[in-house]
Structure 1
């Protein structure tokens, strides 16, 4: 019996990474870059669905794989209610949750594109380590205001994969290690991994941590308050300034 052939889809803020695995071996892979101006033209993340799915299908054609040659499709886990890290099959409940909670993050397209391709091929679709993976210590949820509680939203898929690689390089198991992991991409997140759980992490979606290519990062509170009450921006526009149109994009326009 041949090893399963998996299509893996990892949408990020400015790119979609795709690969076909034969067992544990990479049969084909590519990073599909998306023009910043094209991304900015979409008012909602879900409006990018057709563009990104078409790019994935074109990758399969270039790589010489037909959909009926796949065993399963797995996408990056998107913005869901808080869950433990792990692998989940994409069912109707997960699709509904992605549409309800994941409007402003590209990772939410991972499960949706995976399921759409999988349904056409009549194979299962999965997601792994959603960005809302929540393993925080209780003390890590405190902020400087009791009305505001910190959330766990970060690059869980990449952080946990890199943490496992680092543990392997050390000759140890991930669940036996204490590690600090940094994801550098369109957004940046910094996580403290303790014995296989991400006990503390910066919320890269809500504006915590350093600024990045397209996110504002932590800002002076009074400056944000001034912008919010200036009358120049709606709530939605302010959210876009923090995630999507902040950071280097805000300074350089590209």
Structure 2
């Protein structure tokens, strides 16, 4: 029996779960209130608070890190890596997410907490299926500004799990299918999974608005908005990535609350939520062309996929492309545990050896932190 502990930090909670082989024994969401978050505006400010929450969970459940066979964390804002699967949480990864993160996102804290609770043990610590696997077609990275290369970012962990789940349901392997998989969460991301490889993607800042994100904004408006704003660069990034979308319109990221407004006859709530679904459909259409329409299935997953209203609006617009399957919710903890079990059964752990852009040593990263740190 293999004992596996998983850690997944989100914007307002830290989810932890303990597995024995593939069986989940315990799971909890360690929430952080809005008032507490206001005292910790930068992601790294939350590290000690969240770490103590996890340690209390372990104590309350009589779990001891030295007894684990492996600890698996959600990958945070690390630099692009060449493969999916497992990566060692090593000194370079810790330095990179601490002093030179690619973005301010709570997922970054997952590997830091994992490494902290493993201190004094010989338990391996890994991340699994990072968001930044660079398996995309070269043509998808070209932009209209030569100095900017659009690097792939996709919600791989849960969407790949959804693809595997769908494949099993029809007696096929995930790697035998062409799938467009949509992650409907606080941010909305889409990927074209070409036989197990994300060939192209739509990240949460280049597609539809979402519960927390602005989505793509025309540059003629965005440039004026940024230059006329009194926000700092960091404040603007945090606004676009956590305080816009449904939050900006209604003060909530909870789609259920917006649906209550619709049920009460609020026309603005209906058109804004429908606009979100409309944007998802447009992004699905955008991805459908990259293999000339050869799409076996469209899959809608994530927390917002529990909304039949939203998924029906999307399906109405895209079912002409391919059939649509809804797999609501997130199986991230199960995906992390499954990855950890595969590693314990012999799957390779990739060394993490990618330096953040502009750095060539760990010492340089620590001495010269980026503006995001």
Runs of 4+ in 1 over 4 A off after TM superposition: none
Q: Which moved more, 1:63-72 or 1:183-192?
A: 63-72
Q: Distance in 2 between matches of 1:216 and 1:39?
A: 21
- Structure 1 residue aligned with 2:95: 96
Offset, 1:250:
2.2
- Structure 1 residue aligned with 2:184: 184
- What's the CA shift string for 1:20-60, capped at 9, x where partnerless? 11011111112333334433442211111122222222332
- Structure 2 residue aligned with 1:165: 165
Q: Please, what TM-score do these two structures have when normalized by structure 1?
A: 0.90
* Of 15, 18, 24, the match for 1:17: 15
- Structure 2 residue aligned with 1:5: 3
CA contact (8 A) 1:227 1:233 kept: no
CA contact (8 A) 2:167 2:173 kept: yes
- What's the CA shift string for 1:121-169, capped at 9, x where partnerless? 4412110111212211112112344443322122121122222222222
Tell me the secondary structure at the aligned position of residue 92 of structure 2: helix
- Structure 2 residue aligned with 1:240: 238
Alignment of 1:5-84 (within 5 A): 5-83=3-81, 84=83
Q: Which moved more, 1:53-62 or 1:192-201?
A: 53-62
CA contact (8 A) 2:66 2:118 kept: no
Q: Distance in 2 between matches of 1:211 and 1:14?
A: 19
CA contact (8 A) 2:13 2:29 kept: yes
- Larger helix percent: 2
Tell me the secondary structure at the aligned position of residue 110 of structure 1: helix
Q: Distance in 1 between matches of 2:197 and 2:170?
A: 18
Q: Which moved more, 1:243-252 or 1:142-151?
A: 142-151
Alignment of 1:124-163 (within 5 A): 124-163=124-163
- Structure 1 residue aligned with 2:325: none
Please tell me the root mean square deviation across aligned C-alpha atoms, in Å: 1.9
CA contact (8 A) 1:181 1:192 kept: yes
Change (3 A) 1:178 1:40: farther
* Of 239, 250, 253, the match for 1:252: 250
Tell me the secondary structure at the aligned position of residue 210 of structure 2: coil
Q: Gaps (5+ residues) in structure 1?
A: none
Q: Distance in 2 between matches of 1:12 and 1:50?
A: 15
CA contact (8 A) 2:79 2:102 kept: no
Q: Distance in 2 between matches of 1:35 and 1:252?
A: 19
- Structure 1 residue aligned with 2:215: 217
CA contact (8 A) 1:102 1:108 kept: no
Q: Distance in 1 between matches of 2:127 and 2:39?
A: 27
Q: Gaps (5+ residues) in structure 2?
A: 253-373
Q: Distance in 2 between matches of 1:53 and 1:213?
A: 27
Q: Distance in 2 between matches of 1:76 and 1:87?
A: 10
Bigger relative contact order, structure 1 or 2 (CA pairs below 8 A, ≥6 apart)? 2
Change (3 A) 1:212 1:170: same
